[in-house]
Structure 1
Amino acid sequence: MYRLDDGRYIIGFDDGYQLGKTANFVFDNGIHRLGTTEPTLKENSLFYDGEYYKVGEGRAAITEDKVSDDDARFRTMAAMAMELRKEAVHNAEVVLAAGLPFSNYGRDRMKLIDYYTQQTDLDFTYEGDEYSVTVEKVIVCPQCYSAVASRLGNMKGDYLVVDIGSKTTDVVYVQNGLPIESRSITIEKAMVKWIKEIQGGMKVQTGKDIPEHEVMKAALKEDSNLPGAYVELIRGMLREKMHSLELELAERGYSMEYTNIIYVGGGALIARDYAGRYRNHTAYDCDLCANAKGYEFLARQIEGKKVP
């Protein structure tokens, strides 16, 4: 979050299909409606317009878009509350900086702005604390590009920036610090689809239904209750997924052998541990909040604030 000279606050929010991310916080994207029943625990609880919700418990189902119901608004309220609470602020005018997949940006930008500007005055309670927020402006930024926006001036030569998300993988081609839109794409394959395929493969090979969170523990090399043989099977499948992604990028005309590659965001953790080729000219920016920080950087530029 950044406070502008006129008292408004810029808050960047990356509303992913698995995790919500601000510049400082990461939380699960699940929404559970409790109705008028007050929750037993205040953690992750949101009260808005006479109803209670749990925000940030589990993963929400993949949907075609995020503007067909109020769930994205609830996640955004929780995200704003987290950032405002960090600075002990409870009443604020906010410039909301959000994002869209790079290839969908032109098509869906106004839809997202319209969605957030339908309800700009938000009075709500999050985890027992009251907030009064006015969404004064909405700025929409392209994902992946945003994650490297602050360093574009230092990117000399050709770069392939790859953001493996939950639903899509964004690929932005950068040449001497300038994104080349005609060579930038969004691929409809990413972590949630890979996890489902791995779960299917494990069912075939072991006869067991492996929970999603256990697959992720194995993938991220965290402590797991799975047998060691199962963990190795999962990691082997992830290596195949990363190899398949690299092949697809090569088939789409990218010179993987000679182009600098930067993996950004949470997917960079997977690429770092499971991508097998091109390591001598590949970097891994594993900051899960990279896009949210980039949204704030771009919003500050748009609002006329020089960014160091």
Structure 2
Amino acid sequence: MKTINNTKIIGIDHGYGNMKTANCCFPTGVCAYDAEPLFTADMLVCNDKYYLIGEGHKEFAPDKIKDEDYYILTLAAIAKELKTENLTEAHIVIAAGLPLTWTSGQKADFKAYLMKNAEVKFVYRKIGYHLYIDDVRIYPQGYAAIASFASTLKGVNLIADIGNGTMNTLYMIHGKPQQGKMFTEKFGTYQCTLAVREAFMQKTQRELSDVIIDEVLITGTANIAPADLKIIKSVAAEYVRDIFRRLREHGYDENTMTLYITGGGGCLVRNFYRFNADRVKFVEDICAAAKGYEYLAEAQIKAEARI
């Protein structure tokens, strides 16, 4: 969270798997109730409706404004950030992002969606919040995660932001993004989860919990039968090979370019692919995009003030 003239700039990465801010990360899930539910530890109350944050799994949807879920998750994200500074009331500028090639087409609608209430009151985790949404700034995913050091990049670099729902790729030449060389594909890590689930059912006639799948994808192993682990690792390795096949289709050359991988897919590449450490770099911070949105918004607002 950054501050300009008593206004808080809060970067929010609206992921399909996790919501991220500069200081927080929580599952992208929300369940709504008309009456107070039994378990209320992570409950948000707004307009006489009750929402359990982090419950369920948000299905992939290219249009994030089709329902209220991401709006409610945005309120929770802001509350979590404000709590880091013990604030309950603030003027807010939301800095958010959209997949690279979708930004231009969806920017205006997503901005209107996030600031549809200029003033909003709600209760989260039994604490009341009063927000004034002064503005929303939308930036491209992928680039945001490396924005703070983009100007230092030399030669030809490829940025691959592999999230839960999409994979965004962007070419950078001597630190400058190439408008005509960016791509968005529905090939996020959840596609790997679905493939593992299907392969496991076909080979064993048993269902496999996503919790176990996620553990293997993130760490490379789990405390399960070796035969079961082998199935998961085999599918994961094929998924990562497919990532690099797609990158090569977009012009990636591992001998002349440096690849920067950001997003949750980085752990899959690290665990299931043999790569040249001199040519493949990882942005380790899961909150890098949210911090990048704040960085870009702060720079933009300061530049506008100088005009």
The TM-score with structure 2 as length reference comes to 0.95
1: CA distance, partners of 2:120 / 2:221: 40
**By how many angstroms is 1:280 displaced?**
3.3
Correspondence for 1:156 among 154, 157, 174:
154
1: CA distance, partners of 2:60 / 2:225: 29
- The corresponding residue for 2:2 is 2
- The corresponding residue for 1:190 is 188
- The corresponding residue for 2:99 is 101
Say if 1:19 and 1:59, in contact at 8 Å, map to a contact too: no
For residues 100 and 17 of structure 1, do their structure 2 counterparts lie closer, same or farther at Cα, with a shift above 3 Å needed?
same
Deviating 4+ runs (over 6 angstroms): none
Structure 1 stretches lacking a partner, 5+ long: none
- The corresponding residue for 1:16 is 15
Q: Following superposition of structure 1 onto structure 2, how do residues 111-150 of structure 1 map, counting pairs within 5 Å?
A: 111-150=109-148
**By how many angstroms is 1:288 displaced?**
1.0
For residues 222 and 194 of structure 1, do their structure 2 counterparts lie closer, same or farther at Cα, with a shift above 3 Å needed?
closer
Say if 1:198 and 1:234, in contact at 8 Å, map to a contact too: yes
Say if 2:13 and 2:289, in contact at 8 Å, map to a contact too: yes
- The corresponding residue for 1:281 is 279
2: CA distance, partners of 1:200 / 1:146: 34
Say if 2:217 and 2:267, in contact at 8 Å, map to a contact too: no
- The corresponding residue for 2:290 is 292
**By how many angstroms is 1:166 displaced?**
1.0
| One-letter amino acid of the counterpart of residue 294, structure 1 | G
**By how many angstroms is 1:266 displaced?**
1.9
- The corresponding residue for 2:64 is 66
The TM-score with structure 1 as length reference comes to 0.94
**By how many angstroms is 1:300 displaced?**
0.4
**By how many angstroms is 1:257 displaced?**
2.5
Say if 1:243 and 1:276, in contact at 8 Å, map to a contact too: no
The answer as to 2:178 corresponding to 1:180 is: yes
For residues 136 and 142 of structure 1, do their structure 2 counterparts lie closer, same or farther at Cα, with a shift above 3 Å needed?
same
2: CA distance, partners of 1:58 / 1:268: 24
2: CA distance, partners of 1:146 / 1:297: 8
The answer as to 2:172 corresponding to 1:207 is: no
1: CA distance, partners of 2:220 / 2:75: 31
2: CA distance, partners of 1:131 / 1:237: 45
For residues 83 and 155 of structure 1, do their structure 2 counterparts lie closer, same or farther at Cα, with a shift above 3 Å needed?
same
**By how many angstroms is 1:305 displaced?**
7.1
1:191-221 Cα offsets, whole Å, 9 max, x none, are: 1111101110111112111121211111112
| One-letter amino acid of the counterpart of residue 232, structure 2 | I
Say if 1:257 and 1:278, in contact at 8 Å, map to a contact too: no
2: CA distance, partners of 1:138 / 1:268: 29
Q: What is the number of equivalent residue pairs in this alignment?
A: 304
Correspondence for 1:260 among 258, 273, 288:
258
| One-letter amino acid of the counterpart of residue 128, structure 1 | K
1:162-189 Cα offsets, whole Å, 9 max, x none, are: 1111111000111101011211111221
2: CA distance, partners of 1:228 / 1:34: 42
1:14-58 Cα offsets, whole Å, 9 max, x none, are: 0111110001111011111121x2234432100000111101124
**By how many angstroms is 1:275 displaced?**
2.3
The answer as to 2:248 corresponding to 1:250 is: yes
Of stretches 255-264 and 20-29 in structure 1, the one that deviates more from structure 2 is: 255-264
- The corresponding residue for 2:29 is 30
1:75-133 Cα offsets, whole Å, 9 max, x none, are: 00000000001101101010000100011111111110111222221100000000000
Q: Identity rate of aligned residues, in percent?
A: 28
Structure 2 stretches lacking a partner, 5+ long: none
